[in-house]
């Protein structure tokens, strides 16, 4: 079965700095990849997803992620973060032939400091 590892449990950055949240996955078949964001006291909101096509995926709030098949990674990036980006970010993976089984990473807590 597929699995996903988020390499950093916490990422503190200063406002307007760039940020990268790392995600690696493991699967023996082709996958779909997702990034979700969870703001305090809220549910998960889809940031972006990779299903097929261009490996560079743009999402909401200025985030983007790049699918790298050879490195089995799907890192999330933003060139300049805001205080309002402070949240928990989850990477998720599902297998193309079994899309009902979506696995989530443990999450990365992004804290943006002034």
DSSP string, 76-90: EEESS--GGG-EEEE
CB of 68 to other proteins, least distance (A): 21
Under 8 Å between Cβ of 63 and 47: yes
Q: Which of 32, 64, 72, 86 is in the footprint of other proteins by CB under 8 A?
A: 32
Query: Binding to other proteins by residue 40, rule CB under 8 A?
Result: no
CB closer to other proteins out of 22 and 49: 49
Residues within window 47-106 making contact with other proteins, judged by CB under 8 A: 49, 51, 90, 94, 99-106
Binding site for other proteins (CB under 8 A): 32, 36, 41-46, 49, 51, 90, 94, 99-107
């Amino acid at each position: 079965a597929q699995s996903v590892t988020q390499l950093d449990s916490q990422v503190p950055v200063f406002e307007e700095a760039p940020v990268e949240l790392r995600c690696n996955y493991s699967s023996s078949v082709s996958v779909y990849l997702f990034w979700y964001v969870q703001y305090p006291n809220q549910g998960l909101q889809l940031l972006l997803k990779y299903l097929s096509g261009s490996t560079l995926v743009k999402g909401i709030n200025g985030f983007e992620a790049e699918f790298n098949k050879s490195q089995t990674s799907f890192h999330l990036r933003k060139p300049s973060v805001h205080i309002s980006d402070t949240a928990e970010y989850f990477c998720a993976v599902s297998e193309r032939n079994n899309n009902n089984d979506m696995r989530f990473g443990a999450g990365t807590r992004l804290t943006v400091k002034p």
